[in-house]
Structure 1
Amino acid sequence: MQAIVNMRTHIGEKPFSCELCGKAFAYQNQVMIHMRTHTGEKPFSCKVCGKAFANRNNAMQHMRTHTGEKPFSCEICGKASSHKNQAMLHMRTHTGEKPFSCEICGKAFAQKNQATQHMRTHTGEKPFSCEICGKAFARQTCATMHMRTHTGEKPFSCKVCGKAFADRSNAMQHMRTHTGERPFSCKVCCKAFAYQRNLTEHMRTHTGEKNFDCKVCGKVFAYQNYLSVHMRTHTGEKPFSCKVCGKAFAYPNHVARHMQTHTGEKPFSCKVCGKAFGRKTCLMTHMRTHTGEKPFPCEVCGKAFAYKYQATVHMQTHTGEKPFSCEICGKAFAKKNQAMVHIRTHTA
């Protein structure tokens, strides 16, 4: 009799069927277990947390989440798994086996659920919908994460600082702020990053890739945020305002700089003479009075100047340009202060 029962695994015979849905099984006990999907019966519960299961094997596997037991190890790399099917799936990372292929495009997958999810990119099927807003998803995990935008649930918390996250991957990424781990490194310069997106952005400094172009002037940018900031030069948008006087600015650093006109703060001081400045650029310019640096040379005679405006004024001695003229008599001058002195000869 037992031999006849065992033969069913070879010949595919399934003499026992579910009275509710008609699904067929090779063994009577399989029908009993299947019936629990209809009745909702879960007779096997965890003695630690009370979670209930319809199948004894599932309850035993669940216990390993408490005990940490991982009885199935990889023969190649030694990685241990708590479930036999996890170990089988892991082996495919070594063998490269992908037994599940897409009937439409032929793309192959290591796991059946991956193939099923992929098929939805062709069919457009989204079987998982939000009970609150009705938004549909192709994956159950996406629907579950979306629900947290409504419930505010954040089940994944940082063991170091306690910060909570709705998504496990976000919690894992956050941990790098504590550990300093940077698993993504540039193959060109070896610079390391904590996040893949940062590495992707960094690579553009090597490739020169600029995918974001301004529809108004055609200027191109490597990053979307650079383009968004640039667009303010066209729209005139000034989203950052001073809390004291209400003056608006296009960039946050301009607000911070403006605030110094109210506070009188001068955070940049000269280490030589102690003179303080509100801007770092002003300090750098001032330092030339100590170092004697003159980075602006005349293209004609080579004479050097500490400040750009001095070089500009000097060039007029070569070009003969006199951009400042008297509005009364029309006499022209090379320097603005010369024109102002002359104007007084008319008003005196």
Structure 2
Amino acid sequence: METQKTAVKKYSCKICDASFKNQTTLVGHMKKHTESKNLYSCQICDFSGSSNSKLVQHLRTHTGDKPHPCNVCDASFAQKSALVSHLRTHSGERPYSCTECGYAFTQKSALVSHRRTHTGERPFSCQVCHAAFSRRDTLAAHVRTHTGEKPFACDVCGVAFSEKSSVFKHMQVHSGTKPHVCTVCDSSFSQRNRLVAHMRLHTQEKPYACQVCALTFSRADILVAHSRTHSGERPYSCHVCNLSFSQKSTSVKHMRTHTGIKPFNCEVCGSSFTQKSGFVKHLQKHALEN
């Protein structure tokens, strides 16, 4: 004999196991599985979404509409989720913590990317040279070393960069603001993550481990640079002579052999040098003379 419960909901969906009290309701439910998931189409581009709300969010990429303003600063955002993440930059909240090293993040996606520094996973590959990366944005920045594209420009002087982070670094030249101060040695930084990395010089913490030789590092970018000693990857190419380098700093030094720029100037005799090492040796000669 059927129980009252099974009699009430005896029509079951074979796809998701949901059950209903009559066949009509089941048929209506099945349409969610069988109908197209892209019913809402953009009239400007080829985008289509499964709901009107997704289409509305997409249209903001065309209109530039940002209806979610920050009540602390002048920033505004197209999506509420982006505003929620941004507000953590004011509150200092970092709800997503790494179980390996304890480092915390404001966004879950940042934690997912960070975990790959421990696992060594590199799911994003360059189609030109097949170099692999742990983050999609790192791959995008790498691809620009092949294309020469520099999409990020300084609003003050117009200098362009291939990486967005380079614009923020460059802006220090104009603003000079460094609000994040070390409580140990009074060093100051324009970005909080740089202060966090700096503090490891005092604590000797090195949470980033190489999966090949087990060397550990205080910063993720240093680990990435080190890993190239094993992989042989050389993502920084000279557009003049096509030589390539494993580290950006080496590439910058090399470019001076083409440009002739000598940024290191001796205040004693006026000599200038392309490399800091040569400049240091030169200063030592002055010291011996005295």
TM-score normalised per structure 2: 0.52
Mapping 1:31-180, distance limit 5 Å = 31-49=55-73, 51-74=75-98, 80-149=104-173, 151-158=174-181, 160=183, 164-166=188-190, 180=202
SS of the counterpart of 2:57? helix
Higher relative contact order at CA 8 Å, sep ≥6: structure 1 or structure 2? 2
The one-letter code of the counterpart of 2:279 is N
Task: Note closer, same or farther for the CA distance 1:86–1:143 as it changes in structure 2 (3 Å cut).
Answer: closer
2:279 corresponds, among 215, 225, 229, to 225
* Contact in 2 for aligned 1:73/1:81 (Cα 8 Å): yes
SS of the counterpart of 2:44? coil
Cα distance, 1:140 vs structure 2? 1.3
TM-score normalised per structure 1: 0.45
Identity of aligned residues (%): 34
Aligned residues: 198
Give the 4+ runs in structure 1 shifted more than 6 A. Answer: none
The one-letter code of the counterpart of 1:225 is F
Cα distance, 1:229 vs structure 2? 4.0
The one-letter code of the counterpart of 1:251 is H
SS of the counterpart of 1:251? helix
1:44-66 residue CA offsets vs partner (Å, 9 max, x unmatched): 23445564322122222334445
Task: Note closer, same or farther for the CA distance 1:7–1:116 as it changes in structure 2 (3 Å cut).
Answer: farther
What is the Cα-based RMSD across aligned positions, in Å? 4.1
* Contact in 2 for aligned 1:158/1:175 (Cα 8 Å): no
1:239-280 residue CA offsets vs partner (Å, 9 max, x unmatched): xxxxxxxxxxx725756xxxxxxxxxxxxxxxxxxxxxxxxx
Separation in 1, partners of 2:125, 2:61:
29
1:297-339 residue CA offsets vs partner (Å, 9 max, x unmatched): xxxxxxxxxxxxxxxxxxxxxxxxxxxxxxxxxxxxxxxxxxx
Which of 1 and 2 has greater Rg?
1
2:244 paired residue number? none
Task: Note closer, same or farther for the CA distance 1:173–1:47 as it changes in structure 2 (3 Å cut).
Answer: closer
SS of the counterpart of 2:121? coil
* Contact in 1 for aligned 2:125/2:132 (Cα 8 Å): yes
5+ residue gaps, structure 2, are: 1-27, 207-217, 223-275
